[in-house]
Amino acid sequence: MSCQNDYCCTRLKSDLEQTCALHADRFECPDALINKSKYGYGIIIHDGGSSSISISFCPWYGTKLDK
């Protein structure tokens, strides 16, 4: 769980970088967990919309997330 890269860990990185052949929009893909925007990181809520719960710490390792 290192912080020297752009992302706090490979779990977060792989989630943000994953692409899905079925869902072009990450908000439509149940496999997409995290959204990164200019407001920071958020956990995607799969309610058919594009809402997310903003988070300040990595869900996997608890590392503080920079915006």
By CB under 5 A, name the binding residues for Zn ion. 8-9, 12, 20, 22-23, 29, 58, 60-61, 63
The side-by-side arrangement of strands in the sheet containing 52-55 is 34-37, 40-44, 52-55
Instruction: Return the number of the residue (44 or 58) whose C-beta is nearest Zn ion.
Output: 58
> 14 phi and psi, to 5 degrees?
-65, -30
Supply the minimum distance, in Å, between the C-beta of residue 1 and Zn ion. Answer: 6
Supply the minimum distance, in Å, between the C-beta of residue 19 and Zn ion. Answer: 9
Answer for the pair 32, 18: CB distance below 8 angstroms, yes or no: yes
Supply the minimum distance, in Å, between the C-beta of residue 61 and Zn ion. Answer: 4
